[in-house]
Amino acid sequence: MTQQTKLTVQALQWTGEALKVLDQRQLPETIIFDDYRDAAGVTDAIATMRVRGAPAIGIAAAYGVALSVIQHTAEDPVHWQQKVAADIDMLAKSRPTAVNLFWALEQMKTLLDRPLASPVEAFIECAEKIHADDISANTKMGELGADLLADVKGVMTHCNTGALATGGYGTALGVIRSAYQRRPINVYAGETRPWLQGARLTVWELAQDGIPVTLLADSAAAWLMKSGAIDWVIVGADRIAANGDTANKIGTYSLAVLAKQHGVKVMVVAPTTTIDWSIDNGDRIEIEQRNQNELLPACFIKEGSLVSAWNPVFDVTPAELISAIVTERGVVLNPAEQGIRGLKDVI
């Protein structure tokens, strides 16, 4: 494991004819890449959380469309567009909350209506550009966010927002990476129940970069804030409404409420592709409800059980609880007051 993870963590690797996906459900104990050669496989990888994180989901879906084109142009050179369109619809149903998924699929869908001399090459090129642009955006956000952390002593993050959740480098973890390169800071990671992305993924990923990190139970966050150990909570986003309300991993809203109480600032880091300009506020964000069996102990998973589970995997943090939204196009301080629509026109 050590030899493999000394390199930059790459959750998605394109070979030219297949998408290699790091099965994040098995980290950190086991590092396994699964190869996918059609859109159905990529859809399953997204739905089963082998690949996760809004930007990574969008990138994987784009490659899924490229794989669909490779498959169907070979099998049916006349009607391949209809079959690819059906695969795009299938991919769109894999996860409902991450807007990057739908944005990436729209980019790919525009190619279906164009006369293409070499459709396979065109779709692969589009997917690779989506991937490369995400890495570039992450690097830019990392530097912009780090500028806000000049004098901090400690930060806390939630879920996983690093290279595992993006095309590479990360959103919130990208900021932490960039800040740590300038000077050491204390980094705390919440475990992020029920899937433990913080405990299994974030601390593992930071360790690969040689960044010390302290893990804490989600329920310890308030006491940590009261101690004065942290100045910022830094998180990613799966969808941002036009007013700055932000959907992110379940528990983010709790942290923002606690941060308000304790004078801790909250930073949301996400590419502008995560902003859904079509919705005015967070009330219109669809929150994914996953199977209760993911949360229930095995003894309660049986017919007639009196015990059930409520398993939303995201919540929405109101813009008024957010101190800064960092994107590759710039930083918005106090988004509830400033608004974020100015980002829409930045090139």
List, by residue number, the catalytic residues: 238
CB 208 within 8 A of CB 2: no
User: Rounded distance, CA 203 to CA 299, Å?
Assistant: 30
| Segments in 192-291 forming alpha helices (H) | 197, 203-208, 221-227, 252-262
3-class DSSP string for 131-183 = HHHHHHHHHHHHHHHHHCCCCCCEEEECCCCCHHHCCCCCCHHHHHHHHHHHC
Q: Per-residue DSSP letters for 43-91?
A: HHHHHTTSS-SHHHHHHHHHHHHHHHHHHHHHH-TTTHHHHHHHHHHHH
